[in-house]
């Protein structure tokens, strides 16, 4: 009957020597992954201890170097930074914790995993080792399985660090590209803002004793508000205020398109103009202007964008006003004595509903009265508490600045609005048209 051997020491010597020092390597358990060779610096004043650990490391597939003191180890780290350091705690001169502190102060492109080799087990001493910058500990005498496990944990940390560095580099590169794109877009938007502002060629014009003033202030680079005016023959004036839904480039392009429909004084190039029975240029009824723009918006522009509008024709001789309100905030009249009247019933927006019912409304201005169109960026302006100004708040501001006229009135209104919002940045575009009627003499202006 053959003898059964139960321990390695019972094996015959030749058979013991033929067995591998460790079981087959598995990268997930501490072996070096194919194509990746981690380097380890072993620091110990005991030559025998260094040889034992180095032999174990080479068996696991690591690239190994040695140093017998902290000073020699620092020089080795400066010349060829290792992935791992295994350092004895107790060494003459510079001990392991002090070497670890000096190691952490060195500039490196990647992280170095540091293990302290010690027989210490006191919690306070272990804490001191961590405070010096150590990542883990190995207990003496070093066992192969423990060494494998500690290095496997460190390798996972190094792999994660390498992945983070790679992803961070990719992120930084992407951010740099995005910054270049942003700067190009920002430059284009600045130019677009200039072009949009140029759509309002005049901010003020005198018509004899009467005058019209405009305010246009986008909340961003470009906006969706549009204001303007144009004379109709010698004795009439058309004014308008438009607010395109949404913000940004799409809205700005829409305002540019709409501006072109009012830019000319020729009937074939201005949607609001036609020929009267006398053969002279005349303005279509305001409701008809809204209807025409509604058809154009739905049939030609083919976009989900719509807009609100106030359009009025003013007889400069009599002060008679015909206007249409298409979803825009109510127009205000401030009479010469200070009384404020709110006009209109709302009406549907333009470009949203086919066959939308637009209706004219009429009012007459007396000398000293003024007519104000504003965008909802004014009535919906919020204070720091989130409370909107609303129409009642607007009326308070109008009364407060009743003694001002023209651009002075609009500048004061903007200032008061910024004060209400506790800053000069508004959440929406700000626009207004102010017409101040001076009397029949304007018919000759």
Which tens digits make up the pLDDT trace of 180-202?
A: 887 777 676 666 666 666 667 78
Give me the pLDDT at residue 196, please.
Answer: 62
| pLDDT surpassing 50 at residue 143 | yes
Residue 177 lies in a domain: no
pLDDT at 6 over 50: no
Looking at the 3D structure of the chain, how many domains does it have? 2
Tokens encoding 279:
């053969």
Question: Are 268 and 389 in the same domain?
Answer: yes
Instruction: Provide the CATH number for the domain around residue 247.
Output: 3.60.40.10
CA distance 13 to 384: 87
113-122, 224-233, 362-371 — which is least confidently predicted? 113-122
Q: Report strand pairing: 320-326 vs 307-315.
A: antiparallel
In this structure, are residues 239 and 229 in contact, taking their beta carbons and an 8 Å threshold? yes
Instruction: Give the pLDDT of residue 122.
Output: 74
Q: How far apart are CA 57 and CA 55, in angstroms?
A: 5
Query: What range does the domain containing 49 cover?
Result: 14-166
Q: What is the rounded CA–CA span in Å between residue 158 and residue 165?
A: 10
Q: Which of 191-195, 325-329, 339-343, 389-393 has the lowest mean pLDDT?
A: 191-195
Task: Answer whether 0.75 is exceeded by the pTM.
Answer: no
| One domain for residues 126 and 206 | no
Flag whether pLDDT at 15 surpasses 50.
Answer: no
Q: Domain for residue 133, yes or no?
A: yes
> How far apart, in whole angstroms, are the C-alpha atoms of residue 285 and residue 272?
8
Taking only the tens place, the pLDDT of each residue in 65-79 is 999 999 999 999 999
Each residue's pLDDT tens digit, 288-318: 999 999 999 888 766 778 999 999 999 999 9
- Is the same domain home to 215 and 299? yes
pLDDT value for 267: 80
pLDDT surpassing 60 at residue 419: yes
């Amino acid at each position: 009957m053959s003898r059964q051997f139960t321990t390695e020491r019972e094996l015959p010597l030749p058979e013991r020597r033929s067995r591998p020092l460790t079981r087959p390597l598995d990268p997930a358990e501490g072996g070096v992954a194919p194509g990746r060779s981690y380097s380890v610096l072993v620091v110990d004043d005991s030559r025998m201890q260094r040889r034992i650990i180095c032999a174990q490391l080479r068996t696991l597939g690591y690239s190994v170097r040695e140093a017998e003191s902290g000073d020699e180890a620092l020089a080795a780290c400066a010349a060829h930074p290792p992935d791992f350091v295994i350092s004895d705690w107790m060494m003459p001169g510079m001990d392991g914790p002090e070497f670890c502190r000096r190691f952490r102060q060195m500039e490196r492109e990647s992280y170095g995993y540091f293990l302290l080799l010690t027989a210490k087990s006191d919690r306070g001493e272990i804490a001191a080792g961590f405070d010096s910058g150590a990542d883990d500990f190995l207990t003496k005498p070093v066992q192969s399985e423990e060494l494998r496990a500690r290095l496997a944990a460190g390798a996972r940390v190094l792999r994660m660090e390498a992945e983070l560095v790679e992803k961070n580099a990719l992120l930084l590169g992407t951010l740099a590209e995005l910054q270049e794109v942003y700067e190009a877009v920002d430059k284009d938007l600045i130019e677009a803002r200039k072009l949009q502002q140029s759509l309002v060629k005049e901010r003020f014009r005198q018509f004899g004793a009467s005058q019209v003033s405009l305010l246009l202030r986008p909340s961003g680079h470009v906006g969706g508000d549009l204001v303007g005016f144009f004379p109709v023959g010698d004795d009439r004036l058309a004014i308008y205020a438009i607010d395109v839904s949404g913000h940004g480039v799409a809205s700005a392009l829409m305002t540019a398109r709409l501006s072109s429909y009012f830019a000319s004084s020729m009937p074939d190039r201005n949607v609001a103009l036609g020929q009267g029975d006398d053969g002279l240029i005349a303005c279509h009824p305001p409701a008809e202007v809204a209807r025409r723009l509604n058809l154009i918006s739905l049939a030609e522009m083919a976009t989900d964008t719509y807009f609100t509008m106030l359009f009025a024709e003013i007889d400069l001789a009599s002060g008679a006003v015909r206007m249409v309100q298409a979803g825009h905030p109510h127009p205000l009249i401030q009479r010469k004595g200070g009384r404020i009247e709110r006009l209109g019933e709302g009406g549907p927006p333009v470009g949203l509903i086919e066959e939308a019912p637009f209706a004219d409304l009429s009012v007459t201005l007396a000398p000293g009265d003024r007519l104000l169109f504003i965008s909802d960026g004014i009535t919906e302006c919020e204070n720091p508490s989130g409370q909107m100004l609303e129409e009642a708040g607007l009326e308070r501001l109008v009364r407060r600045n009743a003694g001002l006229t023209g651009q002075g009135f609009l500048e004061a209104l903007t200032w008061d609005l910024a004060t209400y919002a506790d800053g000069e940045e508004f959440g929406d575009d700000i626009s207004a048209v102010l017409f101040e009627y001076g009397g029949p003499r304007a018919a000759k202006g």
